[in-house]
Amino acid sequence: MRVVILGSGRGSNAEAILLAQQAGKLGSAQVVQIFADKPDAGILTLGPRFGVPATFLDPAPFKTKLDGAGEEHYIAAITACQPDLIVLAGFMRVIKPRFLEAFAGKVINLHPSLLPSFPGLDGIGQAFRRGVKYTGCTVHEVTAEIDGGPILDQAAVRIEESDTLESLAAKVHAAEHALLPAVIARLSEKSR
Ligand code: GAR
């Protein structure tokens, strides 16, 4: 199963996927390409470290969505990778229907809350401020509804009285680093 990862940030989840692959724990999945929409994204440093091509792809002209010329650019570059699965690992842009039609049923997203609670930006901060006792992370199929596609799996994290936003974020990220590679491994076994 050929996997393309898209990200915008530090890339700790892409790193968890690549570490799982190195440890033989990613089933038949293989990361073939990483793309970032920011030239200075930390996720790009994983390329040389893990021997995977990692490239900045210009998303212009929009700031928060992948549309127009940027969308075309991404569709062409990702199609050339012949992907079976596209993983949004901290890719902070709204995905539009044309992209989803080009890769129908192949796009999954990681979100830092127990959806359908706290969709959108800052899922961890939203849960912390609301005072819920459990939050966590979700891996779901991407549809045109933001953070609304079918849920593939979730992991729960308890929010203790002593938790700060920072300690909660660390717990949610640790849960993500276990959940996302496990979902990819499972999908790869299903697709065999
Ligand atoms: C992760 O916490 C992921 O759930 C979140 O961005 C972070 C990326 O971290 N994604 C979203 O909020 C998407 N709406 P990383 O770059 O270290 O993997």
Share of the chain above pLDDT 70, in %: 100
Mean pLDDT value of segment 153-170: 98
Active site residue ranges: 111
Q: How many domains does the chain have?
A: 1
Tokens standing for 72? Answer: 């075309």
Spatial neighbors of 48 by CB under 8 A, at least 6 apart, are 54
109 C-alpha to ligand 1 centroid (Å): 9
Nearest CA to 166 out of 156, 174, 155, 177 is that of 174
- CATH number of the domain that residue 84 is part of: 3.40.50.170
74 falls within a domain: yes
**Rounded Cα distance, 30 and 51, in Å:** 12
Q: Is 45 in the pocket of ligand 1 (CB under 6 A)?
A: no
27 falls within a domain: yes
**Residue 81, pLDDT score:** 98
Mean pLDDT value of segment 142-159: 97
**Residue 122, pLDDT score:** 97
117 falls within a domain: no
Mean pLDDT value of segment 164-181: 98
64 falls within a domain: yes
Question: Over 80: is that where the pLDDT of 143 sits?
Answer: yes
Mean pLDDT value of segment 155-175: 98
95 falls within a domain: yes
Question: Over 90: is that where the pLDDT of 192 sits?
Answer: no
144 C-alpha to ligand 1 centroid (Å): 19
Over the chain, what is the mean pLDDT?
A: 97
161 falls within a domain: no
């570059």: which residue's tokens? Answer: 77
Tell me the pLDDT tens digit for each residue of 24-77.
Answer: 999 999 999 999 999 999 999 999 999 999 999 999 999 999 999 999 999 999
Mean pLDDT value of segment 164-170: 98
| Domain membership of residue 14 as a residue range | 2-112+141-152+173-190
70 falls within a domain: yes
**Pocket-testing residue among 6, 10, 13, 64, ligand 1, by greatest number of atoms within 8 A of Cβ:** 13
Tell me the pLDDT tens digit for each residue of 78-105.
Answer: 999 999 999 999 999 999 999 999 999 9
Q: Is 9 in the pocket of ligand 1 (CB under 6 A)?
A: yes
The edge-to-edge listing of strands for the beta sheet with 30-36 is: 54-56, 30-36, 2-7, 85-88, 107-111, 134-141, 151-158
Of all atoms in ligand 1, which is nearest to the CA of residue 119? 14
Count of CB atoms situated within 10 Å of the CB of 22: 11
Q: Is 11 in the pocket of ligand 1 (CB under 6 A)?
A: yes
Nearest CA to 3 out of 40, 28, 30 is that of 30
Question: Over 90: is that where the pLDDT of 191 sits?
Answer: no
179 falls within a domain: yes
